[in-house]
Amino acid sequence: MFSLPKKVTIIEVGPRDGLQNEKNEVPTAVKLEFIEKLQLAGVEEMELTSFVSPKWVPQMKDAKEIIESATKKGRQFVLTPNEKGVELAKLAGANSFAVFVGVSNSFNKNNINKTTQESMVGLKPIVESLLKEGHFVRACISTAFYCPYEGAIDPVKTMELCREFVSWGVNELSVADTIGMANPKESYLLFELIKGEFPTTLITAHFHDTRKMGLANIFAALQAGVDRFDSSAGGLGGCPFAPGATGNIATEDVVNMLHQMNIDTNIHLDLLVNAIDIIAPYVSRPIETGMYKLRKNS
């Protein structure tokens, strides 16, 4: 019989990953209420915003106000792509940081106009400085399974990137099926490797639900020993490089599945739906995740 954890930590990415590519401009006050309601539902770790150029990601232009105004509860991440972003985030009061890089050179070049190794060279002094100052650092590893340009990614390349980040001392690896192509067998095999090699590093799985295999991939990762998962309330978000991508795996569907298996998340499902109600009128597509529709229609 396989073994499952008794408790799972959900890292809510809706306010950042879920909204960053949203076409509608969501008012800052609405984002702050969304964040507050998510916290009231029991979310203890969350990506709040990203300090990126408003020219490229206009939805994140209020990052400073979000960090300064959001209720400080639990671990709250900001995505910081470069040294300038880190400095702005620190000035606003951030203390937990996320950096990112793609395993695939093609994806990385299309995303930030740098190869994977060029990104790593630039990130190393930033990460080491943050860790020296006592900040929490999560490394987000994109295209860990598949790339929209290169296809299947060799697990050896993903492990090499994980190994490099761990050698720097990062606190957490968030390993992503960025375009939602992975299947449960691939999920289990990769996370079994990662958990086996890095037993003292926090390991988080990040799945998209493009092909409706997100929950199955989470179940497979659970069996591999993963007990941390990124998810987005309402299934908000999606990769701009994956045509037809339906967004991140929905927090409410993940929480429901885990609770059905008697795995604790500390998240109250009804209060989570209340949080989604706050953001739903402001996004460009209807919220149609399983548990949201079920709770709204019951």
Between the CA of residue 128 and those of 12, 30, 78, 96, 135, what are the distances in Å? Answer: 25, 35, 17, 14, 10
Asked whether the predicted pLDDT for residue 245 surpasses 70, the reply is no
Asked whether the predicted pLDDT for residue 239 surpasses 70, the reply is no
Three-state DSSP class for residue 224? coil
Sign of CA dihedral 19, 183, 203, 292: positive
* Confidence at residue 16, expressed as pLDDT on a 0 to 100 scale: 96
Q: At 100, give phi and psi (nearest 5°).
A: -145, 150
With 0-12 CB in 10 A as exposed, 13-18 as middle and 19+ as buried, what is 97? buried
* Confidence at residue 112, expressed as pLDDT on a 0 to 100 scale: 86
Tens of pLDDT, residues 21-34 = 898 999 999 999 99
* Nearest Cα to Cα of residue 145 among 200, 196, 217: 217
Q: Which residue has the higher pLDDT, 245 or 153?
A: 153
* Confidence at residue 187, expressed as pLDDT on a 0 to 100 scale: 98
Tens of pLDDT, residues 56-92 = 899 999 999 999 999 888 999 999 999 999 999 999 9
CA–CA dist 250, 276 (Å, integer): 11
- Strand-strand pairing, 75-79 and 45-50: parallel
User: Is 140 designated active site?
Assistant: no
Asked whether the predicted pLDDT for residue 51 surpasses 90, the reply is yes
* Confidence at residue 110, expressed as pLDDT on a 0 to 100 scale: 87
**Residue 249: how many other CB atoms lie within 10 Å:** 30
pLDDT mean over 94-106: 96
Looking at the DSSP assignment, which residues form a beta bridge with residue 28?
none
Q: With bands split at pLDDT 50, 70 and 90, how would you rate the model's confidence at 243? A: low
* Confidence at residue 18, expressed as pLDDT on a 0 to 100 scale: 95
Amino acid in the structure at residue 228: R
**Cα within 13 Å of Cα(184), Cβ side:** 11
Report which secondary-structure segment, H or E, holds 259. helix 251-260
The region of weakest confidence among 184-193, 206-215, 285-294 is: 285-294
- Strand-strand pairing, 172-177 and 146-147: unpaired
Q: Would you mind telling me the total number of residues written for the chain in this entry? A: 298
Asked whether the predicted pLDDT for residue 146 surpasses 70, the reply is yes
Q: With bands split at pLDDT 50, 70 and 90, how would you rate the model's confidence at 111? A: confident
Cβ–Cβ under 8 Å, residues 19 and 31: yes
* Domains of the chain and CATH, by start: 9-297 (3.20.20.70)
In the chain, pLDDT over 90 holds for what percent of residues? 85
Cβ–Cβ under 8 Å, residues 259 and 40: no
Say which of 140, 147, 162, 239 is annotated catalytic: 239
Tens of pLDDT, residues 157-209 = 999 999 999 999 999 999 999 999 999 999 999 999 999 999 999 999 999 99
Q: What share of the chain is helix, strand, coil (3-state, %, to 5)?
A: 45, 20, 35
Alpha helices in 93-242 (DSSP H): 105-112, 116-132, 155-168, 184-197, 214-223
* Confidence at residue 184, expressed as pLDDT on a 0 to 100 scale: 98
Tens of pLDDT, residues 127-141 = 999 999 999 999 999
Between the CA of residue 108 and those of 37, 118, 152, 213, what are the distances in Å? Answer: 34, 10, 15, 25
Between the CA of residue 293 and those of 37, 225, 273, what are the distances in Å? Answer: 19, 31, 9
Cβ–Cβ under 8 Å, residues 272 and 41: yes
Tens of pLDDT, residues 259-278 = 999 999 999 999 999 999 99
Mean pLDDT over the full length of the chain? 94
